[in-house]
C-alpha cells in the first residue's frame, strides 16, 4: 500500500485508473492536471486504509456525473465539488473526516484526490466499483446496503440539487435528467458513510491497485513491452488476476450516440492479418467483447481497449478509426460477482441478453 498520493505517483494513478475505467469514467488526464495543481498548492494527500477507519469517521464521496464526451470540453472545478459536498454536510449536520472515490476507474479517481488535498483530509484506499460503471446505483456500497441518498449535485453556475430517495436506482433516475439539463457534466456527492458502514461496503485497496497498474505500464526500465507489463501486473493482483489480451487489431467501425446524459455505442476491431474481428459494446464503459462471435468478457468483468504500443487505455470518447489496439480483459473484484451483486451490475442491468460467465471460463485457453 502507498502512504500518500504525491506529485510523483499522480500520473501512475491516472494511467492505472484509465485502464480500470474500461473505456468510461472520463479521461483521467484532465483530472490529473487538477490533482497536480491541488497537491502543489495544498501538499500530498495521505492514504488511509479501510482497516484504519474508525467507526465514527464520516466518509464523503467526491465524484463527477455525466457524459465523458462532454467532460472533455467542460472542465471540472474543485469549487463545484466543494459545493456538492458541503451541501450534503450541511444537510446531514456532520463533517467529512475522509474522502473516498465512488469509482476508481477514469476521472472519478482523480477529483477525490484533488478535493481531499483542498480539504486537508485523507483519501480512503478503496472505492465502490473497483472499475467504472455508468450508473449511480452500480456500487458495492449499494450492493452492501449503504443508501445512495442523500445525494447532491452541483453545476458551474452556482446551482445545486439535493436528493432524498428511497433507492439508489431512483436517485439515478432523478439525478440523470438534471445532470443532463445542467450540461451533461456535474459534480456530485452521495453514499455518505460512517467508518463502520464503509468497512463492509468499500472495495478495498483499489486506489493503490490503480497506482500499481499505472506504474507497471510506465516502468520503462523493464525490457518487456508495456502490454506485457500490464498483463503481468494484472495477473499479480488480488482481484484482477484472471487477465489476458483477448484481441489485437485496428479499429474499423465506431458508432457513438451521446444521449440521455450517456454515451452509448459499438466498436469493431479487425485483425491486422486474417479476417477475424472483435466486437465491443459500451454504455460509457465497455460492457462486453466477443471475438469471431465467441464471448470473451462480459460485465462486471473488465474489458479495456489499450494502445498497442503504449498499453495506455483509450477512453470511449477518444476511440477513432484506424487506431491499432489491444483488447485486455481481467476479472472483477469478488464483491461485484456475487448473486446479489449481479442483480445490480450484471449484464441484464445494461439490457444485455448474455448471462454472466466468469472471465476465467471465457479466456481459459488464453491464461
Contact residues: its own copies, CB under 8 A:
87, 91, 157-166, 170, 173-174, 177-178, 180-182
Question: By C-alpha distance, which of 168, 24, 33, 35 is closest to 104?
Answer: 24
In this complex, which beta carbon is closest to its own copies, that of residue 37 or of residue 173?
Answer: 173
Type and span of the H or E element at 235: helix 226-235
Q: Closest approach of Cβ 174 to its own copies, in Å? A: 5
Instruction: Provide the 3-class DSSP secondary structure of residue 224.
Output: coil
Could you tell me the smallest distance in angstroms from the CB atom of residue 325 to its own copies?
A: 37
Q: Which of 92, 282, 60, 94 is nearest to 187 (CA)?
A: 60
Shortest distance in whole angstroms from residue 82 CB to its own copies = 14
Q: How far apart are CA 283 and CA 196, in angstroms?
A: 33
Q: Can you tell me the distance from the alpha carbon of 6 to that of 304, in angstroms, rounded to the nearest whole number?
A: 26
Min separation Cβ 157 and its own copies, Å:
6
Nearer to its own copies, 74 or 250 (CB): 74
Q: Is 347:285 a contact under the CB 8 Å cutoff?
A: no
How near is the Cβ of 162 to its own copies at its closest, in Å? 4
Q: And the C-alpha cell for 126?
A: 478503496
Give the DSSP per-residue string, 47-89.
Answer: EE-GGG--TT-EEEE-EEEE-HHHHTTS---HHHHHHHHHHHH
CA distance 124 to 113: 10
Could you tell me the smallest distance in angstroms from the CB atom of residue 148 to its own copies? 11
Of 77, 78, 135, 132, which is closest to residue 260 (Cα–Cα)? 135
* Shortest reach from residue 294's CB to its own copies, in Å: 39
Alpha-carbon distance values, 66 to 77, 99, 282 (Å): 14, 20, 15
Amino acid at each position: 500500500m502507498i502512504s500518500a498520493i504525491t506529485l510523483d505517483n499522480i500520473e501512475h494513478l491516472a494511467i492505472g485508473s484509465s485502464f480500470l475505467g474500461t473505456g468510461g469514467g472520463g479521461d483521467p488526464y484532465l483530472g490529473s492536471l487538477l490533482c497536480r495543481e491541488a497537491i502543489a498548492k495544498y501538499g500530498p494527500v495521505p492514504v488511509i486504509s479501510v482497516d484504519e477507519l474508525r467507526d465514527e469517521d464520516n466518509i464523503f464521496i467526491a465524484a463527477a456525473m455525466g457524459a465523458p464526451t462532454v467532460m472533455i470540453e467542460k472542465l471540472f472545478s474543485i469549487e463545484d465539488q466543494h459545493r456538492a459536498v458541503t451541501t450534503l454536510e450541511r444537510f446531514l449536520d456532520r463533517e467529512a473526516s475522509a474522502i473516498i472515490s465512488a469509482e476508481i476507474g477514469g476521472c472519478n479517481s482523480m477529483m477525490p484526490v484533488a478535493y481531499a488535498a483542498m480539504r486537508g483530509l485523507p483519501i480512503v484506499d478503496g472505492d465502490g466499483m473497483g472499475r467504472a460503471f455508468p450508473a449511480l446505483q452500480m456500487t458495492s456500497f449499494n450492493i452492501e446496503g449503504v443508501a445512495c441518498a442523500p445525494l447532491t449535485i452541483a453545476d458551474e453556475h452556482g446551482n445545486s440539487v439535493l436528493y432524498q430517495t428511497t433507492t439508489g436506482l431512483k436517485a439515478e433516475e432523478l439525478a440523470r435528467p438534471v445532470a443532463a439539463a445542467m450540461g451533461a457534466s456535474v459534480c456530485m456527492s452521495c453514499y455518505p458513510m460512517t467508518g463502520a458502514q464503509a468497512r463492509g461496503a468499500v472495495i478495498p485497496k483499489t486506489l493503490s491497485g490503480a497506482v500499481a497498474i499505472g506504474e507497471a505500464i510506465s516502468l520503462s526500465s523493464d525490457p518487456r513491452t508495456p502490454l506485457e507489463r500490464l498483463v503481468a501486473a494484472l495477473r499479480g493482483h488480488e482481484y484482477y488476476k484472471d487477465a489476458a489480451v483477448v484481441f489485437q487489431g485496428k479499429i474499423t467501425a465506431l458508432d457513438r450516440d451521446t444521449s440521455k446524459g450517456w454515451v452509448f455505442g459499438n466498436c469493431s476491431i479487425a485483425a491486422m492479418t486474417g479476417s477475424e474481428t472483435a466486437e465491443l459494446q459500451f454504455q460509457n464503459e465497455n460492457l462486453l467483447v466477443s471475438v469471431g462471435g465467441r464471448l470473451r468478457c462480459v460485465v462486471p468483468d473488465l474489458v479495456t481497449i489499450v494502445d498497442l504500443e503504449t498499453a495506455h487505455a483509450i477512453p470511449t470518447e477518444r476511440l477513432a478509426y484506424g487506431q491499432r489496439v489491444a483488447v485486455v480483459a481481467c476479472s472483477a473484484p469478488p464483491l461485484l460477482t456475487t448473486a446479489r451483486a449481479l442483480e445490480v451490475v450484471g449484464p441484464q442491468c445494461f439490457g444485455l441478453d448474455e448471462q454472466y460467465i466468469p472471465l476465467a471460463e471465457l479466456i481459459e485457453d488464453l491464461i
